[in-house]
A and B are shown apart, each in its own frame.
Chain A
Amino acid sequence: MTDTTITLSAADFEKVDSDVSVQLLSRPSLSYWQDAWIRLKKNTRAILSLYIVIFLAIFTLLGPSIWRVDPSLQDLNQISQAPSFAKGATLVGQYKRWNGIIVDNFPAEPDEYYETVQPVTGLKTYEKATTQQVRLIWDPVTGAGGYNIYRNQRVPEDFNDLGLPLGSTYGANEVSYEDRLSLESRPYFYSIVPTDGFDEYEVYTMLSITPRMTITVTEASDRGLIPSDDLTQIGHKINLEFHPFGTDYLGRDMLARLMEGARVSLFIGIVAPFIYVVIGVIYGGTAGYFGGYIDAFLMRFADFVVALPFLLFMILFKIAFGIGPGESGIFPMLLALILLAWPGTARLVRGQVLRIREQGYIEAAQLLGAKPTYLLLRHIIPNTMGVILVTLTFAVPSAIFTEAFLSFIGMGVAPPTPSWGSMCNDGVKTMLSHPHELIFPAVFISVTVLAFNLLGDGLTEALDSRMRSKE
Chain B
Amino acid sequence: MRLILVAILLLPIVSIHAQVDATSADFETQIITISLTQEPPQLNGMKATDAVSIFMLSHVMEGLVRYDRRGNIAPGVAENWEMDESSATFWLRKDAKWSDGTLVTAHDFVFAWRNALKPSTASEYAFILYPLKNAEAINRGEMDPSQLAVVAEDDYTLRIQLERPTGYFIKLTAFTTYFPVKQSFFESKGDRYAADAQDLIYNGPFRMTEWTHSASLKMVKNELYWDRDSISLNGIYADYITADTRARLNLFIDGKVVFTALDGETYKDALTKKFRIKRFTTGTVFFLEYNHRPGRVTANQHLRKAIQNVFDTNEMVNKVLATPGNLPGESLFPVWLDGVEDKFRREYPAPLAKLDLARAKEHLEIAQRELGQSPLPPLVLLVGDSPTAAKQAEYLQGLLKSKLGLDIKIDVQTFKQRLAKMTAGNFDIVAAGWGPDFDDVMTFGDLFASWNLNNRGRYNNPEYDRLVRIAMNSSEPKIRMDAMGGLQQILYDDAAILPQYEQGVIYLMHPKLKGVVRRVVGADPDFTYARVVK
Residues of A within 8 A of B (CB): 72-74, 76, 79, 95, 152-153, 157, 160-167, 180-183, 198, 222, 249-250, 315, 324-327, 408-410, 414-416, 426, 429-433
Contact A250 B320 (CB under 8 A): yes
B315 at the interface (CB under 8 A from A): yes
Contact B409 A325 (CB under 8 A): yes
Q: Roughly how many angstroms separate A90 CA and B22 CA in the complex, as a whole number?
A: 48
B534 at the interface (CB under 8 A from A): no
Identify A326's interface contact among B277, B408, B506, CB under 8 A. B408
Report the nearest A residue to B325, measured CB to CB: A165
Contact A432 B385 (CB under 8 A): no
Contact B398 A165 (CB under 8 A): no
Q: Roughly how many angstroms separate A28 CA and B113 CA in the complex, as a whole number?
A: 96
Report the nearest B residue to A179, measured CB to CB: B318
Number of B interface residues, CB 8 Å? 49
Contact B318 A415 (CB under 8 A): no
CB distance from B193 to the nearest CB of A (A): 32
Contacts of A76 in B (CB 8 A): 315, 319-320
Contact A79 B408 (CB under 8 A): no
Partner-contacting stretch, out of B133-141, B218-226, B262-270: B262-270
Contacts of A181 in B (CB 8 A): 318, 322, 324
Contacts of A431 in B (CB 8 A): 265
Report the nearest B residue to A148, measured CB to CB: B279
Report the nearest A residue to B70, measured CB to CB: A198
B466 at the interface (CB under 8 A from A): no
CB distance from B253 to the nearest CB of A (A): 13
The interface bits of chain B over 8-48 (1 if a CB of A lies within 8 angstroms of the residue's CB, else 0) are 00000100000000000000000000000000000000000
Contacts of B414 in A (CB 8 A): 315, 409
B382 at the interface (CB under 8 A from A): yes
Report the nearest A residue to B408, measured CB to CB: A326
Most-contacted residue by chain B among A163, A167, A326, A432 (CB, 10 A): A326
| Chain B, 344-394, CB within 8 A of any chain A CB | 378, 380-382, 385, 387, 390-391, 393-394
Q: Roughly how many angstroms separate A198 CA and B267 CA in the complex, as a whole number?
A: 23
Q: Is the interface of A mostly helix, strand, loop or mixed?
A: loop
Contact A409 B265 (CB under 8 A): no
| Chain B, 254-278, CB within 8 A of any chain A CB | 264-265, 267-269, 271, 274-278
Identify A163's interface contact among B269, B271, B382, CB under 8 A. B271
B234 at the interface (CB under 8 A from A): no
B411 at the interface (CB under 8 A from A): yes
Residues of B within 8 A of A (CB): 13, 70, 264-265, 267-269, 271, 274-279, 314-315, 318-320, 322, 324-325, 378, 380-382, 385, 387, 390-391, 393-395, 397-399, 401-402, 408-414, 417, 427, 506, 511
Most-contacted residue by chain B among A183, A222, A324, A433 (CB, 10 A): A433
Q: Roughly how many angstroms separate A157 CA and B264 CA in the complex, as a whole number?
A: 23
CB distance from B240 to the nearest CB of A (A): 21
CB distance from A95 to the nearest CB of B (A): 8
11 contacts between A and B (CB under 8 A): A74-B395, A74-B398, A79-B319, A165-B279, A167-B279, A180-B314, A180-B318, A181-B318, A326-B380, A409-B385, A432-B265
CB distance from B171 to the nearest CB of A (A): 21
Contact A160:B265 (CB < 8 A) given known A74-B395, A250-B391, A326-B410: no
CB distance from B54 to the nearest CB of A (A): 24
7 A-B pairs besides A408-B412, A410-B411, A430-B265 with CB distance below 8 A are A153-B271, A160-B274, A182-B322, A326-B410, A416-B394, A429-B387, A432-B13
Q: Roughly how many angstroms separate A73 CA and B402 CA in the complex, as a whole number?
A: 8
Which 10 residue pairs across A and B have the least CB separation, nearest first? A326-B409, A325-B411, A165-B279, A410-B412, A182-B322, A74-B398, A433-B268, A180-B318, A161-B274, A160-B276
CB distance from B167 to the nearest CB of A (A): 25
Contacts of B391 in A (CB 8 A): 249-250
Report the nearest A residue to B262, measured CB to CB: A164
